[in-house]
Structure 1
Amino acid sequence: MKKMKIMSVVGARPNFMKIAPFAHELVKHPDQFEHFLVHTGQHYDKAMSHSFFESLNIPHPDVDLGIGSGSHAEQVGRTMIEFEKVLLEQKPDWVVVVGDVNATCACSITAKKHHIKVAHIEAGLRSFDLHMPEEINRMVTDSICDLLLTPDEFANENLRREGHAESQIKFVGNIMIDTLEANRNQAAELDLNEIIQRNLIPPDVSGQASEVSTDFRSPVSDLCENSFTVLTMHRPSNVDSKETLESLVRLLIDKVSIEMPLVWSVHPRTKKNLQRFGLWDEVMQCANIILINPVGYHEMLKLNMSAKIMLTDSGGLQEESCVLGTPCITMRESTERPVTLVEHGGVSELTGSDPEGILVAFKQFLNFDRRGHFPRLWDGGTAKRIVNALRDAGC
């Protein structure tokens, strides 16, 4: 029996958590599948990429295209050129893409132009916001895919409304939850304050970040579980405008951090703009705000498990908060994950960038009892269902 050759593609940090359980499931069937993993290199910094492969035990990529940074057009164009070379050499039966990054769209188009079947993990997600480049990537990818692997019922309905054949749509659940459940115990064993200390951004005279000194202690030490807020923020709508970012910083300093300590995992884009807009020193000097560098998967999972409230514009953290039961303030105007919202049984509130809306949600969540919400098929078995769907679809 001929093995099915599957080429899967990852490009950026959110993809890594999604490809890990899929890769692990394929390994269980060596007589049926041959797996070739392509890393496009959209996230090229070791802290944002290779450490995730190691911590999640993802097989080393068979090829790294090394695309690097650039505009959306530059990344998509370079990815298509380099990925085509790999396709022509390897000749896979299926290309499997995940999520909504530029690599997802670029590799789908390239594969289809060579008449290679494409499957999309996380198909059908829609924010209905065409200002988001990720939304364009989702729509283009789904429009040409042969197999649409969906995470929830909302995604199924979106695809049906767009006219996709029922035979193409396979409801498999959320693969991010496979990763969460496989790593929950390991994350729980981590020491909360060791994570803070190891990743702390200490001040120096120039106001820039420097290496963590072993004798520098956090301004708030010995955090207790369920007694602090975690913040991540990286989207252009929140951090690229001085007016918006400044209003959010005022909220964090004057309102949020007054209630409880705030642990802020600072994305490189956000840090750059805080410094550019002259806000970095003020944030650094706030006694109840703890600035830390971007952390690994297990460390962020521990922070999420331990936090009283999650404040984020990350879709992945929105999903994880739903299952963990951490009240989540989602700083976006729309979401492609409505299943996580309070009105649908979840624990997330959409607030956009409006400080008043964020503060209202924050105060409401101060008295919110933690409760996990598990949408249908968010059960840790998604990777197995995906592999079964590919097997059924055949070469």
Structure 2
Amino acid sequence: DILTMYLNTVSFGNNTYGIKTAARIYFNKETNQLNVPQSALLVGMLKATTSYNPIKYPEKALDRRNVVLSQMSKYEYLTKEEFTKFKMAPIGLESGSEDESSDGDSYLRAAVDKYLEKWCEENNYDLYEDGLKIYTTIDSKLQGYAEDAVKDQMRILQRRFYSVWGNEDPWEDSERKKVDYPDRAKKSLPIYALLQKKFPNQPDSVEAYFDKKKKMKIFTYKGDRDTLFSTMDSIRYYGKILNTGMMTLEPKSGKIKVWVGGIDHKFFKYDHVNQAKRQAGSTFKPFAYLAALESGMSPCDKFTDKPVRIAYQDKGETKYWEPKNADWNYSYQEMSLRWAMGRSVNTVTAQVTEKVGWDNVV
């Protein structure tokens, strides 16, 4: 019973808990369908789920699996012939999923799990044995509306994105110069460093790995699609998928009512609510206009929507800030503060901020 409880709750890495879930995630099988090498690999992971993660460190995972097999042979759970056969078997990973649904609240559950792990450790509780009841402030009705709104709006934006860019690479730097995002992404993968060590001075061998086609499921707004993709195909494809996050809180109490970390938790584990770091952007504009009103300006005061170049000092060096509008165009028309704020015009906001004074806004 103790072993059963342990295997049903222990972490296997990759936000995977319990051996049943691990069997699905790593081998796309039920536990009773696992063969001996697959079972040994999962058991071997438990010593250090990060170090022996078969996705990130396949060679270490293979070595660890063979240690488990050798112990089974030593204590006569395997014959010598079986041990020799099983230790030669490849890892044979086949990515599956714990749950075929991709509800937006999966991001919330993952965030709560992560928080509770730390909280239980700090407060000396066992999450699975101490009878804890977990409550959140999420409004289930609002959560459902938010998930639907995110999915519907992102589907529209994705369609617009494809209509504008087509097959052209969209990746640019702040100066609108093309950058090789797929190559950068490839080199940031853990497997890239391993391949560099395995094939020193053999770039063709490394590239061959990333260009090899294999079966996989990919995300589409029409549902999961089976295809043949190489790693580079996958990087290029997902690099063009727009994503977002949405969090809503109750101003008076600070209670979180809605948490949508992305468009599909099954394919995109990165939580844009909990993990993403970004500038405040246009959400900061009301502070600029409020400071303007407090300084004596009127909502009817007018500024011209035109290119703006503002000098500032950075470590004794004069630099220039040249904000652009969202569409990179200027109307060269006069517009009131009320009109400019309603349409989130960057150039006018910059002029207002400069006139009011940065310190008064911030």
Question: Could you say which TM-score interval applies, normalised by the shorter chain?
Answer: under 0.3
Larger Rg: 2
Structure number with greater CO (CA < 8 Å, separation at least 6) is 1
